[in-house]
Amino acid sequence: MFTMIYVNDLAGAGKIVPDWMVHFSDRHRRGSGMTFVDLVFPGFLFIVGLSIPFALGSRLKKGEPLWKILLHVVIRTVSLLAIGILMVNETPDSEQMGWSGELWCTLMYLSAIFAFCTIAPRGKTAPGERAKVFRIVSLALQVLGIASLVWLAFAFRNKSGQAIISLSPFSIHREWYGILGLIGWSYLVGALVFLVFRGNRTALLGCFALLLCLYPADRKHVFDNFWLANYVGIGEMLGAHPSITMAGLLLASILIAPEMASIGSKARFTLLFIAGCAAGALLLNGLYGISKNNATPSWCLWSCAITAAVWLPLYLVTDVRRVGLVAGPLAVAGQNVLLAYLISEMLPSTLEVLHLGDWYDGLAGPTLVHAVARSIGCAAAILCATAGLNRLGFRLKL
């Protein structure tokens, strides 16, 4: 999350930012390659996979009915898709709407925060009446947030006067599903695979390979006449991206497998997985190249290999041989990341509404040092703010 906020903010500094600090496609419209910035999104997909066996596994252990778990998965997916669609329509036309487009964006993000917020003091057992008040306030904010999102979706107009939602005939305007929407599709696929195969690593590894195969099949027009292809890119959104989520799910499975109890067995499995992904990436590089925007198999495999290589030492120093200096700050900063993401995306429009946009832009110049300092400060401030809100009991929950 820190890296995502940092690189997104740094991208606004313009040409003083070197090529290796921006998405490869931003400076190299043609060719094959990736920078560390292109690892941020697959890092989120990987983490989604890591979380699934623990989140859904705990529900299964409690005896929760399968239909109820599936309903939870569907609601979470639809919520991510809805926010994602609203986010990609963040360029409303002020003249067409009759009021500020920047204000629309700020209200949209604020409404999304309210729609999924819960308020409850941490570390305290609130008395019955007080707990009831917190539940009522949370519910009121959620209803207000959802109602506001619906109103904003109808109020939106782009330069051609098109709304996000049209009723006659019914349609939802989208150019794509946004980052949260792509995460939603990957979460849906990963969750369904886990519910079918649970901790069977052979099956999970097989699904990982099969999902990657959807990409070349899509490029060969196998799904052109399939109804689902009208709504989602099967090769990318249901194949390539979920394969990275499957990588996280697969590695999470070794953390809870009784036969993988030793640290050595976990490390060996992870290192072999990293080596296999790197070898596959090299072999497939000539087929479609490395491209984050196109979600090519080689990019997916490099992302899996590098992300797993980053995860292993972090796992060792946070869970196995806990190093407080590393584990403590990560645990605090990582507890409210969806809120941090929405605040970071809301920041540009909010600055414009407050007439602080020019001032903030000026902080990034005239040198790269100024831009880097601004972006580091921005990321740190947002994470500190969300950690503080989390400590006060304000959290987002999908």
Q: What is the pLDDT of residues 219-240, one digit of tens each?
A: 999 999 999 998 999 999 999 9
The pLDDT of residue 95: 87
Q: pLDDT band at 398, cuts 50/70/90?
A: confident
Phi-psi region of 396 (alpha: psi -120 to 50; beta: other; left: phi over 0): beta
- DSSP tag of 320: I
- Other beta carbons less than 10 A from residue 103's beta carbon: 16
Domain edges within the chain: 31-62+177-321, 90-173
Structure tokens at 328: 């403590």
Q: How far apart are CA 155 and CA 101, in angstroms?
A: 11
Q: Contact 249/204 with Cβ under 8 angstroms?
A: yes
**pLDDT at residue 80 greater than cutoff 70:** yes
**Strand residues in the chain grouped as ranges (E):** 117-119, 165-167, 170-172, 394-396
pLDDT (average), residues 99-118: 94
**pLDDT at residue 124 greater than cutoff 60:** no
Q: How far apart are CA 105 and CA 125, in angstroms?
A: 37
Residue 113 C-beta-side C-alpha neighbours within 13 Å? 21
The pLDDT of residue 29: 66
Q: Compute φ and ψ for 58, nearest 5 degrees.
A: -65, -35
Q: How far apart are CA 16 and CA 291, in angstroms?
A: 24
Q: How many helices (H) and strands (E) does the chain have?
A: 16, 4
Q: pLDDT band at 263, cuts 50/70/90?
A: very high
Exposure class string for 130-166: b at 16+ Cβ within 10 A, else e: eeeeeeeebeebbeebbebbeebbebbbbeeeebbee
The pLDDT of residue 125: 54
Burial of 353 per CB tally in 10 Å (0-12, 13-18, 19+): middle
**Strand residues in 76-148 grouped as ranges (E):** 117-119
Crossing angle of the two packed helices 263-288 and 201-219, in degrees rounded to 10: 10
Q: pLDDT band at 123, cuts 50/70/90?
A: low
Angstrom CA distances, 388 to 13, 121, 343, 394, stand at 28, 12, 14, 9
Rounded CA Rg of the chain: 22
